[in-house]
Amino acid sequence: MRLASLLFVLFLALLPGCDPAKHPSRPKALFIGLDGVQLAQYLSLGDATNLKQRLYYGKAYAGGINGKSSEQPTLSGPGWATLLTGVWSNKHGVDSDADSLRINPAFPSLFKRLRQALPNAYLSSIVNWPSINTAFLLEDAHGADVRESGLSDEQVIERTLQVLGNTPADFTFIQLDEPDQIGHDNGYGDRYEQALRKADSEIGRLLDKVDQRRRMFPQEDWLVIISTDHGRDYWGKGHGSASEQEKSIFIASNKPLNQELTELSIPAEMPGPDNLYGLPAQTSVAPTVLRHMGLTLQPEWLLDGTPLLGKTGARKARADENKGRLRWNSNANGYLTILKNGHVVAQVPARDGQWTDPQGMEKQNDYVLVLDDTPTAVRNRPAAKAFVIEESSY
């Protein structure tokens, strides 16, 4: 053990409240971001991967719902911003890879939310693709204790192992970029497979480190969550469009996740290609991390995603603008509370699965559905006004 690690262990041992019997749970989260990893290709590596051997995983979707207000390009900027905020680009505002874009301060990322709730938390953002830290999160991750940008994947891993070994490491986000770069250069094939194998073995090293740390500090409760910003097109070279392959992503975790990941819940009127929209969305990662870290999800945060730990609340909340109707999926017996632009407007049986706004949806509104203390939000697109022939115009 290096001296720094030893001192850190002594420091923790001297902290009051470190007795595991008194504090059985000290939440920690590691979010491993893999850029541009196509799940089908990852699965084709066989059964000996860390993904299959050591993680719970399921398919998910990026890019929002085609034709709805959540639709966004399957690009890295919008993808990482959505993973880190829990909302789509119609809220966070990062709708391309342009370095001039910043996350809308009204929809802060995990870094700002955790800093506000846990002022002493040790937060790290260690990325290969610099734009995440130097553009989109420029102000947002400003208060992070470690912020490293433009590292090679090897350097990202080395730095992360240091953080996990020598610091409180309350929340650590990392991004590995090589699978995406190699995909752009070569498409699918041997080199892309090698890049995925390498990323998988790096995940293995990080999981080993977390296991080692859990043995050292049994009071720590570790969530490791892994996802990707977008899928890839048919050939594996490109992404950005709305095809099923480009929208297909995955979410993996060291913890078993709830029904949102394990049980398909299909929006009946718009299932998407191969029931894609019955899967969890990319917006689910942020609320999962926040809940694990002990924060109560607040309706006013307008988070679009369903958390993957604990109660799901209403699933697949969505707006049907033409009918002025909210829809959702739920088998719960209780009542669901609906807020519109911050005010409670209705309480309806959760099983109803729909509610019509008497004022229609000609304006943009922020709706929140609260069930089992779990909020889920939807921002509608202003509905087209009914076509009226004005006689005066003749």
Sites of contact with Zn ion (CB under 5 A): 36, 180
Please measure the distance between the N-terminal and C-terminal CA atoms of the chain and give it in whole angstroms.
Answer: 86
Name every residue whose Cβ is closer than 8 Å to that of residue 22 and which is 6 or more positions away in sequence: none
Q: Which residue is nearest to Zn ion (CB)?
A: 180
For residue 32, list its beta bridge partners.
174, 226
Nearest alpha carbon to residue 61 among 90, 88, 97, 94: 88
Query: Which is closer to Zn ion, CB of 73 or CB of 278?
Result: 73
Select 34 or 338, whichever has its Cβ closest to Zn ion. 34
HSE at residue 94, side-chain half, CA atoms within 13 A, is: 36
Strands (DSSP E) contained in 321-365 are 325-329, 335-340, 343-349, 354-356
Residue 178 or 180: the one with the smaller Cβ distance to Zn ion is: 180
Residue 69 Cβ vs Zn ion, minimum distance, rounded to whole Å: 25
Shortest Å, Cβ 194 to Zn ion: 17
Smallest distance from the beta carbon of 240 to Zn ion, in angstroms?
A: 8
Nearer to Zn ion, 229 or 260 (CB): 229
Least separation in angstroms between CB 318 and Zn ion: 28
Rounded CA separation 367/156 (Å) = 39
Which pair of tokens denotes residue 196? 């995925």
Report CA-CA distances (Å) from 232 to 52, 135, 225, 350, 357.
21, 24, 21, 37, 38
Q: Provide the minimum distance between the beta carbon of 6 and Zn ion in the complex, in angstroms, as a whole number.
A: 41
- Taking the complex as a whole, the smallest distance from the CB of residue 96 to Zn ion amounts, in Å, to 13
Residues 6+ apart with CB under 8 A from 328: 314, 315, 316, 317, 318, 336, 353, 354, 369, 376
Distance CA(229)–CA(81), nearest Å, equals 9
Closer residue to Zn ion, CB minimum distance, 75 or 163: 75
> 78 or 313, CB closer to Zn ion?
78
